[in-house]
Amino acid sequence: MISPPTRKSPSPLAFTIIAVLIGVHVLAWQGTGFSPGALVEGWRGMVDFLDQSFPPDLSVLGESLEAAVITLYIGLLGTTFSIPFALILGILAARVTTPNAWTYQIARSILSVLRSIPDVVFALIFVTAVGLGPFAGVLALAFHNTGVMGKLWAEAMEETDPGPREALKVAGANGTQIAANAVLPAVLPQMVGLLLYRFDVNVRSSLVLGLVGAGGIGFLINQSIKLFRFDQMVTHIIVVVIVVVIVDQISAYVRRRLA
């Protein structure tokens, strides 16, 4: 007769982890003032907001479309201008292409700093330097995207097949030759896919940057909110949704073709 398998009782460590997670969530609940009751009680304000938002004011559609194009330009240039810096730092931040420990650590640190500063903070900094407008948004996205994309590209390089690298190393190739002839060709499709994904993200981010004065359709949304023209705000948001969906579909299609 086969005896039923015995169940293992949860270890004390599992109980401790669960208790800590519950405690952290309780603190987060209290610290954020999370209150479903307040949401329910505020239904009148939500109804008033929707009443003022619909129907959308289509008289601003032309202005909205023009600003949406500027938003696309911000996302495009912010992505493009970050490519050379992200590529150089990515190569230096990958162990397979940078055997020098100091160079590796410095490159990793630069990428960490650029990645840890939100693009909105970069936008606020550049708005004070170059003034309000799309140029500040382009600079903000370029700096932040360099950190993010450099990190993603470095990790992709480190996952390449070591065979071709070792063959070139035995043949006497230096680090630059190994990167150019073994690492980059192997990882190029993945790098392009990550680049397209980041462009998709940057288009969305450029909308938020407009809220802090970096131009584009986000600036119009901010102005509509300040003027309590929620019907105009809804028109801008509809345009944003359409643009984001189109960019997302195109980006996904190109990534599938590269896969």
Mean pLDDT estimate for the chain: 87
Q: Where does the pLDDT of residue 108 fall: very low under 50, low under 70, confident under 90, or very high at 90 and above?
A: very high
Task: Give the whole-number percent of the chain exceeding pLDDT 90.
Answer: 39
| Residue 83: per-residue pLDDT | 95
At residue 13, does pLDDT exceed 90? Answer: no
Stretch 231-255: mean pLDDT: 88
Give the position of tokens 């680090």.
175
Decide if 215 contacts 227 (C-beta within 8 A): no
DSSP tag of 7? P
At residue 3, does pLDDT exceed 70? Answer: no
Decide if 222 contacts 211 (C-beta within 8 A): yes
Which of 6-10, 51-55, 75-79, 190-194 shows the lowest per-residue confidence on average (mean pLDDT)? 6-10
Stretch 127-141: mean pLDDT: 90
Stretch 200-219: mean pLDDT: 86
Decide if 150 contacts 86 (C-beta within 8 A): yes
Stretch 117-140: mean pLDDT: 90
Give the position of tokens 């643009």.
243
| Residue 184: per-residue pLDDT | 85
- pLDDT tens readout for residues 167-181: 877 777 777 777 878
Q: Where does the pLDDT of residue 161 fall: very low under 50, low under 70, confident under 90, or very high at 90 and above?
A: confident
Return the amino acid letter for 16. T
Chain mean position to CA 31:
27
- Which distant-in-sequence residues (6+ apart) come within 8 Å of 86 by Cβ? 145, 146, 149, 150, 153
For the chain, domains (ranges, CATH) are 60-258 (1.10.3720.10)
Q: Which of 145, 119, 149, 143 is closest to 216 using CA atoms?
A: 119
**Higher pLDDT pick, 4 / 164:** 164
Stretch 7-15: mean pLDDT: 73
Instruction: Give CA–CA dist 213/98, Å, rounded.
Output: 40
At residue 67, does pLDDT exceed 80? Answer: yes
- pLDDT tens readout for residues 211-220: 888 888 888 9
DSSP tag of 1? -
| Residue 8: per-residue pLDDT | 63
At residue 6, does pLDDT exceed 80? Answer: no
The pTM (predicted TM-score) of the whole model is: 0.83
Sign of CA dihedral 50, 52, 54, 56: negative
| Residue 259: per-residue pLDDT | 65
- pLDDT tens readout for residues 14-34: 889 999 999 999 999 989 888
| Residue 7: per-residue pLDDT | 60
At residue 2, does pLDDT exceed 60? Answer: no
